[in-house]
Each structure stands twice: as structure tokens, then as C-alpha cells.
Structure 1
Amino acid sequence: MAAACAPNISPDSYAVGSVGQVNRTVRGVIISARPVAIGGTQSGLGAGAGAVAGGAAGSMIGGNVQTNIIGAVGGAVVGGIAGAMIEESATRQTGIEYVVQTENGALLTVVQGSTPALSVKDRVLVIYGSRSRVVPDPT
């Protein structure tokens, strides 16, 4: 479930708020491409769900109210930590770090999703915006 919450890092997708915006674009050539790990999200949803589940399970421990409360609190803490770790792990992704040399000699670095993959010496367009991206140059 948490994997479905992973942010879309593909250069082929745009947020609805980006539609109609004008972005600056420069031509260049990829001089370096390497895989990188992109850390997962920590939205708090995993921790919250884990705390609720852990608290419910922990409250079943023991035979009196005091033991049930202690079990619920302990279960909530452990469940929250486990839920946060699961969310971060499930939303971790692999991307590509591209270093592009522009036509005027400047170097730009952009990290994005690994598909579509581009290679060293490919001619590309670097699109500046709230989320920059590197795409093949069709010319």
C-alpha cells in the first residue's frame, strides 16, 4: 500500500498544476549518467497506521486495565516505528543522475526516474521548471 504512495519521478509525467506553464529549455549532451538511490517518503501515514495497529494489538495483552494500557502504549510506539520504516522502505526508488553539458559549456545535474534511460553522448533537452527534467532532443 505504501509503494502506491511513492512520488512519480518519471520525466514523462506532469502535475496538473504544471499544465500551461512556460519553462525554459536548453540543449546539451549527457556527459555522465549513473544510478542513484532516491530515499523513500516519510509522510507519517506509515507511522500512524503502525501506531494504531500496534496499539490495538498491545491492548490485548494482560488481564487487567493497567496492563492493557501499558500494552497499548508500548504497542503504539513499536508499531509507529515499524510503520515508518516500512513506508520509507516501500517508497524508496532508483533514479539516474544525469550531468549535461549545455551548448554554452555550462554543466547541469538533474536526478530523475530511470525510465526512459538516456546514455552518455545522447543529445538532450534540459527543461527547467518546478521539477526540471532531461528528455531526448528530437533534432
Structure 2
Amino acid sequence: MKAPIIAVALLATLAGCAVQPNSANVYNARQAQNEQSVRMGTVESVRQVSIDKGETGTGVLAGAALGGVAGSAVGGGKGAIAATILGAVAGGMAGKSIEANASNKAGLEITVRLDNGDMRAIVQDADELFRPGERVRLLSDGRKTRVTH
């Protein structure tokens, strides 16, 4: 009986960790075959940042479920009830912390001076190396802009 509950809680936790990438190298199916404007420029500066993907609450729920199940296995009677409640609270706090840490991702703030003199700053995943002085392309579909080599 407890194994299915634990499996569901773990799946819910993993589902909560699924986040959209902010990579210049990843396109979703809706973005394929859409025209983008291209502007050329030179990297002025690169700064490491943290991209917070946000919390869904899944970590709290999954942690509380797991903690409650673990706590219910302790003692009997009123002791088991207290252990279940304490396990759920502790599990919820641990789950919240785990989700918060998992939802932060390394990113870059790339400042680019366009060929027309305008400056732009774009934040994206830190999955490609950029250096000041490099020539880059800014690809924009009107909503999202990516910096690529």
C-alpha cells in the first residue's frame, strides 16, 4: 500500500522539476520554421547570473507525502499520528528546499553593442561561452531574443 503512494509522490516531484530551457540552442516545436530577425553586434560584457525557474509547490506536496508515509511507520496510536504530522511537516520543508535548489539554473547576462550603436542585454542559459569583443548574432522573433555565434 505504501509503495504506490511513494511512487506517485516521486513522480510528482520529478514532474515539477521539468522546466523550459532558456538556451539559445534549444527550440520547441512551435518555434521551428518561424522567421526571426537577425542583428549583428559585438559582446561588450558577460556576467554570470542565476535563472530562477520558480517553484510549483510540487516539492512541498511530494515531501509532505513522503514524510507523512515515513512518519506513519513510527510508533502506534497517538504516537503514530504525531509522527505522521511531524514527518509531513519536515518532509514538506525538505521538499520545498529541494525544489528551490533544483529550480535555479546558471545563466549569463550578455550585453551586446549592435552594429547601429544600440545596446542590448539578453539573459539565457550558460550553455555556450561568450567573451567580450566577440562578434555575435541576436536572433529575435519579436518576443524572445537569443545570442548565438
**TM-score, scaled to structure 1:** 0.82
Secondary structure at 1:12 match in 2: coil
* Identity fraction in percent: 31
**Structure 1: unaligned runs, 5 residues or longer:** none
Deviation at 1:115, TM superposition (A): 2.4
For residues 11-26 of structure 1, the aligned pairs below 5 Å read 11-26=24-39
Question: How many positions carry a matched residue from both structures?
Answer: 135
Residue equivalent to 1:60: 73
Residue of 98, 114, 125 corresponding to 1:113: 125
Structure 2 residue 56 is the aligned partner of structure 1 residue 43:
yes
Structure 1 or 2: more helix by fraction: 2
Residue of 127, 130, 140 corresponding to 1:128: 140
CA distance in 1, matches of 2:20, 2:35: 23
Cα RMSD for the two superposed structures: 2.2
CA distance in 1, matches of 2:84, 2:29: 42
CA distance in 1, matches of 2:102, 2:40: 35
CA distance in 1, matches of 2:43, 2:105: 22
**Structure 2: unaligned runs, 5 residues or longer:** 1-12
Structure 2 residue 83 is the aligned partner of structure 1 residue 89:
no
AA of the residue aligned to 1:37: S
